[in-house]
A and B are shown apart, each in its own frame.
Chain A
Amino acid sequence: MSVAEETPIRRVLIANRGEIAVRIIRASRQLGIETVLAASQADRDSLPARLADRTICIGPARASESYLNQHLVITAALATKADAIHPGYGFLAESSELAQACIDNGIRFVGPPPDQIRRMGNKLQARIIAKACGVPILAGSEKIECSEHALGLAKRVGFPVLFKAAAGGGGRGMKIVNEPADLETAFQSAAREARAAFGDDTLYLERYIRNARHIEVQVLGDRFGNVVHLGERDCSLQRRHQKLLEEATAPAVSGALRTRIRESAVVLAQTMGYENAGTVEFIVDRDNEEFNFLEMNTRIQVEHPVTEMVTGIDLVQEQFRVARNERLRFTQDDVTFRGHAIECRINAELPEQGFRPNPGRIVQWVPPEGPNIRVDTHCYAGYTVPPDYDSLLAKLVVYGFDRDEAIVRMRRALEQFVVRGIGTTISFMTKLLDHPDFRSGRMTTHLVGTMLPAAAA
C-alpha cells in the first residue's frame, strides 16, 4: 500500500462533546493543530466550546440532528476549512460512512480506513477474521438461519449460550439462554430487538462464560504496517455492560496469559493492517484462564487514560500522528510498563435510585488534585449538565507504584472529590473499591450486579 509522505494537519474539526472533546483539544494544542468544535445547541457554551479556537453550532440538542448527522459534520468541516475530523468515541466514531465521506471530501479521518471500521463493526465477521488469524474465539456459530438451526448449534456448543446481534456490540442486543426450553423465545426476542436497535436482525451465538473477566488490549498501528500493543486493561466492573472502573495493567493474571492476550491482539491488528488506535476485547474465563476474542473497537476508548498513565504515551496525539502519515516513533520493545493505574467513571446518576440519571446545575465542583491524580472532565462549578446525552461527568484516574498504592490513592481521591448540586456515583465507586473481590483482583463482570438490589442490577 503506497502512503503519502508526512502531511501535517492544520485544523481539526472535533465531532464530539464533553470530556473527550476537551481531551482532543488538548492533544491538538500540543501538536499545534487548530481546533474547531462542532457543537449542538446544548453544548454551545460548554467547556470544550470555550477551549476550541472556534465553535460551530451544527444543530439542536438531539443527537440525531447534530452529533449523529454525518452530513452536518462534513459540511461544518468543509465550511471551516478543517483538513481533518476527529470523531472521539460514541456518536460517529465507528461510522464507516463518515470515514468514507471524509475521503470523498478530501478530509482526513483520525481513525482507521472505512473498510477496517466496517469489518470490525460487523461482530460476526470480526469473529471470522479473528479465527482466521488464529486468535481464539468462543465456541459458537456463524449466522443463524432460524430457531431450529439455533437449537442444534446451541446443543453442540453447550448451554448456557448467548445470542448476539451481528450489528450490535458494546454489550447491546444480547440474550442469555440457560436451557433448551428457553431458546425459542430468546431467539425471537433477540432478533426483534436487534432489528429495532441496529436495523439488522442477524444473530449468532456463543458459549456463555459464567465467571468472566473482561480484558482488552490497546493497539496502535501506523499506515506503514507497524503495529504495537500498549498493554491490556481490565474492565470487568460493569453495570448493564457499561464500564464503571478500569485498570491497567490487568491484575491477577499469569505472565503467560498476559503475553498470549497481548500477542493475539497484535496478530489480529497486524493481519488486518490496522491503522490508528484500536482496542481488541477478550473474555477470560476466571475459572481456567482461557481467553477468547469478543470484538474489536476501531476508535479511541473512554478508558484510554489508564494505558497512558502506565506507558507514558499520549494516545490521542499518536492518533493524530498516524493521521499525518507519520511512522510510529516507537517499536514494541520501546513500550515499557510502569506501575498501575485505575480509572473511576464519575456519572451524574443516583445509585440509591437505580442509577437514575440526574442532570442539572453543578453548584460546587472540587475535583481531587495532587501527584499522580488526573481528572478528565468538561464540568465546572456553575455548569448545567444537559439531559440530552450520557451521564459521564468525569474520569478520575490515579497512578500508583503498584496496585495497592493505586487503590489507596483512588480511595483518597474519591473522598476529596466534592460535587454539589447533582447526585453522582462517587460514593458507590468508593464501595466498589472496598469490595474484597475487587481487592483480590479476581473480579468478574457479575461483581457490580451483586452489590446492587435486584432492581438496580
Chain B
Amino acid sequence: MSDPSDALTEDDVDQIVTLIGALDKSNFDYLQLECGNLKVTVSKGVLPPGTYAIPERPDAAPVAGAPIAAPQSSPATGKSAAIEVEGTEAILAPMMGRFYSAPEPGTPPFVSIGQKVSPDTTVALIEVMKVFTAVPAGISGVITDICVKDSDFVEYQDVIFRVRPD
C-alpha cells in the first residue's frame, strides 16, 4: 500500500474493497486494517471486543505499511485457510509445533487430495522438540485441501486439512 501519509489512491481503495468482499464471503465477524496512522475497521455487526474501551491502540505491524490481516488479530482460527469452504470440515492442529506431511523425509505423504480417510487415519505428524505426535483425521471423508506445507510451523488449532465428510 502507499505511504499512509498520502491520501488513499485508487489502488488502495480497490484493495480495501477486495478485502471487504472477502470478509463478506467469509465467516469472520470483522476486519481490522492498520497502516501507519490509518486504522480501518469493517464489521458485519460484531465489533472487536473492547473496541471502545481498550486502553491502548495496538501498534501498526512491524513492517511499515503492511496491513494486519484479519486472521492475525481476530478471535477466529489461525493464520492458514482463513476462508471457510462450504461442505467441508476442518482438521485442526491438536498442538503447536512443526507439521510434517510424511512419516520421514523423502517418503510419500500420509494423505493426498482426494484420498479417503477414516477417523483413525494418520494424516500428519507434529513435532515439538524432537517429540513427534501423530495426528488422526478424526473424521470419515475425503481430503479436499492440504492447508499447510511440510515443515511449516503450526499453531494450536490451525486448520491443516479440509475434509468432505461422508
Q: Give the B-binding residues of A (Cβ under 8 A).
A: 29, 34, 40-41, 44-45, 47, 49-51, 53-60, 65-66, 71-72, 74-76, 79, 365, 380-384
| Stretch in contact with the other chain, from B53-61, B106-114, B117-125 | B53-61
Judging by beta carbons under 8 Å apart, are B50 and A72 in contact? Answer: no
Q: How far is the CA of A246 from the CA of B51 in the complex (A)?
A: 33
Q: Give which listed residue, A40, A66, A74, A382, contacts B49 with CB less than 8 A.
A: A382
The answer to the question of B128 belonging to the interface, with a C-beta cut-off of 8 Å to chain A, is yes
Q: Which residues of B contact A58 (CB under 8 A)?
A: 96, 155-156
- The residue in chain A whose Cβ has the minimal distance to the Cβ of B73 is A50
Q: Which residues of B contact A44 (CB under 8 A)?
A: 75
Q: How far is the CA of A284 from the CA of B72 in the complex (A)?
A: 50
Judging by beta carbons under 8 Å apart, are B155 and A56 in contact? Answer: yes
Q: Give which listed residue, A47, A49, A79, contacts B98 with CB less than 8 A.
A: A79
Q: How far is the CA of A383 from the CA of B131 in the complex (A)?
A: 36
- In the complex, 21 of the A-B residue pairs with CB atoms within 8 angstroms, ordered by the A residue number, are A34-B62, A41-B157, A44-B75, A45-B49, A49-B73, A50-B54, A51-B59, A55-B73, A57-B158, A58-B96, A58-B155, A66-B156, A71-B129, A72-B95, A72-B96, A72-B97, A76-B96, A79-B98, A380-B50, A382-B51, A384-B49
- The residue in chain A whose Cβ has the minimal distance to the Cβ of B52 is A381
Q: Which residues of A contact B73 (CB under 8 A)?
A: 49-50, 55
Q: Which residues of B contact A40 (CB under 8 A)?
A: 156
Q: How far is the CA of A47 from the CA of B49 in the complex (A)?
A: 10
The answer to the question of B67 belonging to the interface, with a C-beta cut-off of 8 Å to chain A, is no
- The residue in chain A whose Cβ has the minimal distance to the Cβ of B93 is A57
CB distance from B3 to the nearest CB of A (A): 21
Q: Which residues of A contact B36 (CB under 8 A)?
A: none
- The residue in chain B whose Cβ has the minimal distance to the Cβ of A375 is B55
Judging by beta carbons under 8 Å apart, are A41 and B156 in contact? Answer: yes
Q: Which residues of A contact B157 (CB under 8 A)?
A: 41, 57
Q: Give which listed residue, B53, B98, B158, contacts A380 with CB less than 8 A.
A: B53
Q: How far is the CA of A149 from the CA of B133 in the complex (A)?
A: 48
Q: Which residues of A contact B128 (CB under 8 A)?
A: 71-72, 75
Known: A74-B129, A382-B53. A59 touches B96 (CB 8 A): yes
Q: How far is the CA of A54 from the CA of B66 in the complex (A)?
A: 14
Q: Which 5 A-B pairs have the closest CB atoms?
A: A381-B53, A79-B153, A71-B129, A57-B155, A382-B50
The answer to the question of B78 belonging to the interface, with a C-beta cut-off of 8 Å to chain A, is yes
Q: How far is the CA of A204 from the CA of B162 in the complex (A)?
A: 57
Q: How far is the CA of A31 from the CA of B153 in the complex (A)?
A: 28
- The residue in chain B whose Cβ has the minimal distance to the Cβ of A80 is B153
Q: Which residues of B contact A54 (CB under 8 A)?
A: 72
Known: A50-B73, A72-B96, A382-B50. A57 touches B55 (CB 8 A): no
Judging by beta carbons under 8 Å apart, are A50 and B58 in contact? Answer: yes
Q: Among A45, A54, A57, A65, find the residue whose CB has the most chain B CB atoms closer than 10 A.
A: A57
CB distance from B29 to the nearest CB of A (A): 11
Q: Which residues of B contact A45 (CB under 8 A)?
A: 49, 74-75
CB distance from A305 to the nearest CB of B (A): 16
Q: Which residues of B contact A382 (CB under 8 A)?
A: 49-51, 53
Identify 17 new A-B residue pairs, CB closer than 8 A, beyond the known A47-B54, A57-B156, A380-B54. Answer: A41-B156, A45-B49, A45-B74, A47-B55, A53-B61, A55-B72, A55-B73, A56-B96, A56-B155, A72-B96, A74-B129, A75-B129, A380-B50, A380-B53, A382-B50, A382-B53, A384-B49
Q: How far is the CA of A34 from the CA of B49 in the complex (A)?
A: 24
- The residue in chain A whose Cβ has the minimal distance to the Cβ of B127 is A75
- The residue in chain B whose Cβ has the minimal distance to the Cβ of A50 is B58
Q: Among A50, A54, A384, find the residue whose CB has the most chain B CB atoms closer than 10 A.
A: A50
Q: How far is the CA of A49 from the CA of B131 in the complex (A)?
A: 27
Q: How far is the CA of A411 from the CA of B131 in the complex (A)?
A: 53
Judging by beta carbons under 8 Å apart, are B50 and A59 in contact? Answer: no
Q: Which residues of B contact A75 (CB under 8 A)?
A: 96-98, 128-129
Q: Which residues of B contact A74 (CB under 8 A)?
A: 129
Q: Which residues of B contact A34 (CB under 8 A)?
A: 62
Q: How far is the CA of A147 from the CA of B31 in the complex (A)?
A: 65
Judging by beta carbons under 8 Å apart, are A383 and B49 in contact? Answer: yes
- The residue in chain B whose Cβ has the minimal distance to the Cβ of A383 is B50
Q: How far is the CA of A45 from the CA of B71 in the complex (A)?
A: 11
- The residue in chain A whose Cβ has the minimal distance to the Cβ of B53 is A381
CB distance from A451 to the nearest CB of B (A): 32
Q: Give which listed residue, A51, A365, A381, contacts B56 with CB less than 8 A.
A: A51
